[in-house]
Amino acid sequence: MNTSLEMEKEQKYIMQNYSRFPVVIERGNGSNLYDVDGKEYIDMTGGIGVSSLGYNNEGIKNALHAQIDKLLHTSNIFYNSTTIELAKQVTQLTKMSKVFFANSGAEANECAIKIARKYGFDNYNGKKNKIITLKQSFHGRTITTLAATGQDKYHKYFHPFTEGFKYVEMNNIDEMKEALDDTVCAVMLEAIQGEGGILPMNVDFAKQVEKLCIQTDTILIFDEVQSGIGRTGKFFAYEALGVKPDIVTIAKGLGGGVPIGAVLCNSKMEKVLNKGDHGSTFGGNPMAAAAAIEVLKVISEDVFLKEVEKKGAYITAKLKNMRTDKIKEVRGAGLMIGVELNCEVKEILNLCIQKGVLFLSAGDYVVRMLPPLIITYEEIDIALKTLEETLNSI
Ligand SMILES: *Cc1c(COP(=O)(O)O)cnc(C)c1O
């Protein structure tokens, strides 16, 4: 009842740019969500990879309460200890040199692109200014990050886009070599393409791109907005590829549900941006920083990451053994999993919702799972049983 009333109200007052599932979420606990009519769900979406420690997490709540009692916001014309502490922890943990704080993934990528262009300006009189990204990539919704996104469906309206992006097929090193000329300042990659359909990068391709970047003084950027912060069982998904980027962008899982994004860079990149070159009113907000410190405390534990890897392997094995003729392929790492079907996913997701399990899609044919990293085996079992039954019911 409450659901339909809220949906009507939403239609009246909110711009209709989202196609939402008919669920009005009211509260959450652990890996469970509850709607306004009191129905319980197992959440395999994790707020699209954001709610890394699940819902109603005591540690995050305590950190937020303590920060709220002290200070909600101060501007970046002053210093703040919580922000500085997060900077220390996130750089030390990732062995990067310095950080810039933003509020979202798109903003983090905007900043990475600005650093790359500035480096080309400083060292090559701006001759190096192009950026290579991959086909099927996703880097955000601002005009520039849409331009960086290598998918035509995002390039239909909103012209003119920011110039200077080239798209290369993932795992095609010949195409990369061809594109990487002396006008290119950076290559930006996802170790596992999330929105594109959970498409993992080959180790060999990654290593060859890294080598080419070193040879040509091209900046290697990894967009870890979806795949980072423990999502794949490593702190960053690129660690499994054995490469070392110059710049890494993070966001989604970092705040455990509080909006925050960040750009990490190595010592080569740390002096590119100077006073006044970039900024953000909310970036480094103390409240968001307090939540992120708590998230890092949990996710930096080796045992925690091992458990993410184990749960991911458990889900993947179960999916591969599922008795259904609807699954074409299972892909991903850790708790970033895609199940490609030979039928459309939309109806399946709706049927699963009715049975109390929330899944994501990636495109029209892939069921995507980004559950809270703290999800239990019991919850996984129920979610997968529901998926299997649903696949076999249509
Ligand atoms: C979600 C996502 C973004 C954009 O993040 P926003 O916080 O929505 O701006 C960028 N890159 C990747 C890989 C993402 O998954």
Measure 138 CA to ligand 1 centroid, in angstroms: 7
Indicate the residue type of 270.
Answer: E
End-to-end CA distance of the chain: 28
Tens of pLDDT, residue by residue over 66-99, are 999 999 999 999 999 999 999 999 999 999 999 9
C-alpha span between 183 and 131 (Å, rounded): 9
Residues in the chain with pLDDT values less than 70: none
Structure confidence at residue 1 (pLDDT) = 77
The residue contributing the CA closest to ligand 1 atom 6 is: 105
Tens of pLDDT, residue by residue over 150-181, are 999 999 999 999 999 999 999 999 999 999 99
Burial of 385 from C-beta contacts in 10 A (0-12 / 13-18 / 19+): middle
Structure confidence at residue 29 (pLDDT) = 98
DSSP of 206-263: HHHHHHHHHHHT-EEEEE-TTTTTTTTSSSSGGGGGT---SEEEE-GGGGBTB--EEE
C-alpha span between 199 and 191 (Å, rounded): 8
Site to probe by mutation for ligand 1, drawn from 50, 226, 282 as the one with most ligand atoms within 8 Å of Cβ, is 226
Site to probe by mutation for ligand 1, drawn from 193, 195, 231, 361 as the one with most ligand atoms within 8 Å of Cβ, is 195
Structure confidence at residue 61 (pLDDT) = 98
Measure 379 CA to ligand 1 centroid, in angstroms: 27
CB under 6 Å to ligand 1: residues? 104-106, 109, 138-140, 190, 194-195, 223, 225-226, 251-252
Residue 1 CB partners (closer than 8 Å, separation 6+): 37
pTM score = 0.98
* Contact yes or no for 7/18 (Cβ under 8 A): no
C-alpha span between 132 and 139 (Å, rounded): 12
Q: What percent of the residues of the chain are helix, what percent strand, and what percent coil, each to the nearest 5? A: 40, 20, 40
* Contact yes or no for 220/229 (Cβ under 8 A): no
Fill in the DSSP letter of residue 195: T
